[in-house]
Structures are given as structure tokens and as C-alpha cells.
């Protein structure tokens, strides 16, 4: 099956009982047992629900893995994955990971004894230099948020394998349409499905796909034990979103290319961050491991004041956190998504006060270009 076909025909489609072409929403908590322990595969919806199961099968197929799991948010998914480790274990993470990932590692899971080191994983030597006897995993976000740095996943997988570590990849920005980390050697891929997979700013969800039976059993045990599951209605909305992921990603990308061209030549823009630009420091790696460069662009307008003026003037770019939806969004990472990272650390990473991030939507690109032109003037 090719990629767009798989998004529509992967997993479980329709309902064998009625012929309905859409998977029904099984809004149910418990299931009748014929006798004690005799049931049709479902006992209680925390453990398993047919609508959630259909979504889990779909994402498993789309990410080319062994089993899929749906959670109530991206953070619930990330936290569940971290529960695979024990107190005293150590994980190496990308330094500009999603702010919430940094927060859960440094303010919550650290209290339970899980140790974390944040390094620039776009240089594999930095990962290797930080491996300790208690290191259990490498956790990579690529492209990163908001600077769109790229880590070579094949190289990271090679290192992880040599050193007996798990490789975990947050694939939220690329989506499986553009990048399939398990096929490149990762063991676990996860998503904030709130973003591109849902795609319509109407559902908060997280997804995980693992590459082995062992990890599938362990993660299902954690999902059922800790209970951060996705409800049936949200599971259904997410399946609906995933069906159009291919055409949406193609269109996000086409619009983004034109916007990047415009930004690069604009005198008010000091710097543009986009992995599709030949000037991007990791462009060659991006070309090797991604089928497309995505719809996220960051650019620096020089100061916080100028950035706030721009945000106040745009009409079609909605000022909001989040990304990956049909509507174009604009944000100021230093004051919004990355506000939970201390200022000194932000400056170290290059997340300046003048850095603006846009998530290019599916509007007519001419409207978006005119809007940016008037707001930057
Ligand atoms: C939004 C986001 C998350 C967190 O997901 P939620 O669904 O908001 O809990 C994790 N990683 C990345 C890259 C994100 O953009």
C-alpha cells in the first residue's frame, strides 16, 4: 500500500456488523461477559475499546511498527513512555525539545529518580559523550521546535544499537507522511496527535508506536495501569483527521515553500529557519531522512518589540500556541511555548525574543503572503 492509501485503508476500516464505512464510536465503559472471563476481547474500556483499538491499529500501520497506543495527550504519551524506565535510569534528550517534555523531565520525573541530560543531538558526538553506565535511552525530536534543527536518525539508531539503548523519536513535526523513524532504526515513535495528525485544532491526543512485542506488552501494561487513555470520540476524530493527512501535508509544504522564499528576501527578516533551505546547517540530513520538509518555519525579526508588532498586525495568522492545523498560526516561542524554559537557557539555545514561529495552514497562499507583507512593512 502506498502512503495516502494506507492513511485511508490502514488499520481497521468500517464496521463488519452494519457495513458502515466509518468505524463506529463505541461510547462504552464496560462489556457484557457470557461467563466469568468469557468475553469478545473487551472487558473494560481503560484496558481496550474498539474505537481506540481501530485508531491504534491505524497508527501502527502508518508508522510501520508492531503496536500502537493512544493517550489523552502528547504529554500523557511521553510520560507513559518514560514509565518504561526505573528510578536511577538516565535518558539523553535533544536540548530544544518541546517545552512540556523539558518540564516533565526536570520538574516531575526527576522527583521519581529518572535522570535526564539535554544535549544538541544534531551532533551525534554529543550523544555519545553523555552516555553513562545507567543510560537507557536516547530521546530525539527532529525537526526541533522552534529552531528546526535536524538529528540524523540512522546515525542515532546505530549508536543506540551499539550501546544497547532504546531510541525514542518525537515525530510530531514531520508526521509519518514525511518521516518514518522506525524504518530508520528507532524503537519507539511518539506524537502529539493534537497537531498534524488531528489537523483541525479540535482534539488533544497522543500516540505511540513501538517496534517489538516486548515493548508492546510493557507499554500496554503501563497504559492500562496508569490510565491516560484516549476516549472513543476523540479516537474517532483522530482517525478522521489521519485520512486526509497526505493531502494536507502536501499542501502545507507547498504553501510553506512560497512563504520561505518570501521571508528569505525580506529586509525586515534577519534569519529564517527551515530545513528545506539549502543554507540550513542540516539540510543534507533532512533531505536524506525526510520525504518533505513540513509546514513549520521560524524567523527572527531582531527584537521582541518588532515581533509583537508583527503578531498584532497579521490577520490570517491566528495568535495561538499549537501547530499543524488547517488554519495558519503564529507564536512567539520565548513568551509562549518556551516560557517554561529559563531565560538564560533559552538564549543559549538561540530562542531569542525576536524569534517568531509560524505554522503554515491551508489558506490560499496569496492571502498569507499579502498578510505577512503588510504586517512586516
Ligand atoms: C505539542 C507537543 C507535545 C505535547 O503534546 P500535547 O498533545 O500538547 O500534550 C509534544 N511534543 C511536541 C513536538 C509538541 O509539539
Answer for the pair 102, 139: CB distance below 8 angstroms, yes or no. Answer: no
- Whether 249 has a pLDDT exceeding 90, the answer reads yes
Asked whether residue 188 falls in the same domain as residue 172, the answer is: yes
> Which grid cell sits at 6?
494506507
Asked whether residue 302 falls in the same domain as residue 350, the answer is: yes
Asked whether residue 224 falls in the same domain as residue 256, the answer is: no
pLDDT at 345: 80
How far, in Å, is the centroid of ligand 1 from the Cα of 43? 30
Asked whether residue 94 falls in the same domain as residue 127, the answer is: yes
- Residue 172 Cβ < 6 Å to ligand 1: yes
- Catalytic residue, chosen from 6, 52, 195, 257, is 195
Atom of ligand 1 nearest to the CA of 173: 13
DSSP β-ladder status, 90-94 and 135-141: parallel
Confidence grade of residue 69 (pLDDT, cut at 50, 70, 90): very high
| Number of domains the chain contains | 2
* Selected residue with higher pLDDT from 339 and 160: 160
Asked whether residue 153 falls in the same domain as residue 165, the answer is: yes
**How far, CA to CA in Å, does 334 sit from each of 188, 303, 343?**
29, 11, 8
> Which grid cell sits at 32?
457484557
pLDDT at 344: 86
pTM value > 0.85: yes
DSSP β-ladder status, 329-331 and 355-359: antiparallel
Mean pLDDT of 115-125: 97
What's the domain range around 313?
247-376
- Whether 197 has a pLDDT exceeding 80, the answer reads yes
Asked whether residue 228 falls in the same domain as residue 297, the answer is: no
pLDDT at 99: 86
Asked whether residue 184 falls in the same domain as residue 119, the answer is: yes
Rounded Cα gap, residues 114 and 222, in angstroms: 16
pLDDT in tens, 212-232: 999 999 999 999 999 999 999
- Catalytic residue, chosen from 61, 95, 152, 170, is 170
- Whether 268 has a pLDDT exceeding 90, the answer reads yes
195 is catalytic: yes
pLDDT in tens, 6-31: 999 999 989 989 999 999 999 999 99
Boundary of a domain, candidates 222, 243, 264: 243
How far, in Å, is the centroid of ligand 1 from the Cα of 18? 36
Confidence grade of residue 85 (pLDDT, cut at 50, 70, 90): very high
pLDDT at 210: 98
How far, in Å, is the centroid of ligand 1 from the Cα of 106? 16
Answer for the pair 96, 149: CB distance below 8 angstroms, yes or no. Answer: yes
Asked whether residue 55 falls in the same domain as residue 192, the answer is: yes
Confidence grade of residue 321 (pLDDT, cut at 50, 70, 90): confident
Asked whether residue 46 falls in the same domain as residue 194, the answer is: yes
Protein residue whose Cα sits closest to atom 4 of ligand 1: 74
How far, in Å, is the centroid of ligand 1 from the Cα of 154? 23
Asked whether residue 237 falls in the same domain as residue 270, the answer is: no
Boundary of a domain, candidates 243, 275, 301: 243
Q: Which residue in 142, 110, 104, 147 sits closest to 124, CA to CA?
A: 142
Q: Which residue in 93, 25, 23 sits closest to 232, CA to CA?
A: 25
Asked whether residue 214 falls in the same domain as residue 271, the answer is: no
Answer for the pair 74, 190: CB distance below 8 angstroms, yes or no. Answer: yes
Answer for the pair 304, 353: CB distance below 8 angstroms, yes or no. Answer: yes
- Residue 357 Cβ < 6 Å to ligand 1: no
Confidence grade of residue 341 (pLDDT, cut at 50, 70, 90): confident
Rounded Cα gap, residues 203 and 241, in angstroms: 10
pLDDT in tens, 28-45: 999 999 999 899 999 999
CATH code for the domain of 339: 3.90.1150.10
> Which grid cell sits at 217?
506488552
98 is catalytic: yes
- Whether 340 has a pLDDT exceeding 90, the answer reads no
Confidence grade of residue 70 (pLDDT, cut at 50, 70, 90): very high
Rounded Cα gap, residues 58 and 202, in angstroms: 20
Boundary of a domain, candidates 210, 228, 243: 243
Torsion of CA 222, 157, 138, 349, to 10 degrees: -130
Rounded Cα gap, residues 102 and 78, in angstroms: 11
CATH code for the domain of 146: 3.40.640.10
Report phi then psi at 358, rounded to 5.
Answer: -120, 145
Asked whether residue 202 falls in the same domain as residue 290, the answer is: no
Q: What is the 3-state secondary structure (H, E, C) of the chain?
A: CCHHHHHHHCCCCCCCCCCCCCCCCCCCCECCCCECCECCCCCECCCCCHHHHHHHHHHHHHCCCCEEEEECCHHHHHHHHHCCCCCCCEEEEECCCCHHHHHHHHHHHHHHCCEEEEECCCCHHHHHHCCCCCEEEEEEECCCCCCCCCCCHHHHHHHHHHCCCEEEEECCCCHHHHCCHHHHCCCEEEEECCCCCCCCCCCCCEEEEECCHHHHHHHHHHHHHHCCECCHHHHHHHHHHHHCHHHHHHHHHHHHHHHHHHHHCCCCCCEEECCCCCCCCCHHHHHHHCCCCCCEEEEECCCHHHHHHHHHHCCCCEECCCCCCCCCEEECCCCCCCCCCCHHHHHHHCCCCCEEEEECCCCCHHHHHHHHHHHHC
Protein residue whose Cα sits closest to atom 2 of ligand 1: 192
170 is catalytic: yes
Amino acid at each position: 500500500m502506498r502512503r495516502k492509501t494506507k492513511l485511508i485503508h490502514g488499520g481497521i476500516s468500517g464496521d463488519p456488523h452494519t457495513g458502515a464505512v466509518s468505524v463506529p464510536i463505541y461510547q462504552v465503559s464496560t462489556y457484557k461477559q457470557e461467563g466469568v472471563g468469557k468475553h469478545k476481547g473487551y472487558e473494560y474500556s481503560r484496558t481496550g475499546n474498539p474505537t481506540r483499538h481501530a485508531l491504534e491499529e491505524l497508527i501502527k500501520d502508518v508508522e510501520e511498527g508492531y503496536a500502537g497506543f493512544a493517550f489523552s495527550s502528547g504529554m500523557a504519551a511521553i510520560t507513559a513512555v518514560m514509565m518504561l524506565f526505573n528510578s536511577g535510569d538516565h535518558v539523553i534528550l535533544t536540548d530544544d525539545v518541546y517545552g512540556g517534555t523539558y518540564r516533565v523531565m526536570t520538574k516531575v520525573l526527576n522527583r521519581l529518580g529518572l535522570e535526564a541530560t539535554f544535549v544538541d543531538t544534531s551532533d551525534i558526538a554529543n550523544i555519545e559523550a553523555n552516555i553513562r553506565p545507567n543510560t537507557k535511552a536516547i530521546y530525539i525530536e527532529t525537526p526541533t521546535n522552534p529552531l528546526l534543527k535536524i538529528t540524523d536518525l540512522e546515525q542515532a539508531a546505530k549508536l543506540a544499537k551499539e550501546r544497547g539503548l532504546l531510541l525514542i523519536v518525537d515525530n510530531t513535526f514531520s508526521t509519518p507522511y514525511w518521516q518514518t523513524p522506525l524504518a530508520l532504526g528507532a524503537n519507539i515513535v511518539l506524537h502529539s496527535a493534537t497537531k498534524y495528525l488531528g489537523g483541525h485544532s479540535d482534539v488533544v491526543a497522543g500516540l505511540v508506536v513501538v517496534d517489538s512485542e516486548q515493548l508492546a506488552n510493557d507499554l500496554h501494561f503501563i497504559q492500562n495501569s496508569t490510565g491516560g487513555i484516549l476516549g472513543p470520540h476523540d479516537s474517532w476524530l483522530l482517525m478522521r483527521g489521519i485520512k486526509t493527512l497526505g493531502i494536507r501535508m502536501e499542501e502545507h509544504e507547498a504553501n510553506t515553500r512560497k512563504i520561505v522564499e518570501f521571508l528569505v528576501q525580506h529586509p525586515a527578516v534577519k534569519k529564517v529557519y527551515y530545513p528545506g533551505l539549502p543554507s540550513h546547517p542540516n539540510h543534507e540530513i533532512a533531505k536524506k531522512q525526510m520525504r518533505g520538509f513540513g509546514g513549520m518555519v521560524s524567523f527572527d525579526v531582531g527584537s521582541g518589540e518588532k515581533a509583537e508588532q508583527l503578531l498584532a498586525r497579521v490577520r490570517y495568522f491566528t495568535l495561538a500556541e499549537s501547530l499543524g492545523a488547517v488554519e495558519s498560526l503564529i507564536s512567539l516561542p520565548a513568551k509562549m511555548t518556551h516560557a517554561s524554559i529559563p531565560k538564560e537557557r533559552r538564549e543559549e539555545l538561540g530562542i531569542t525574543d525576536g524569534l517568531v514561529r509560524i505554522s503554515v495552514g491551508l489558506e490560499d497562499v496569496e492571502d498569507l503572503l499579502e498578510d505577512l507583507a503588510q504586517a512586516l512593512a
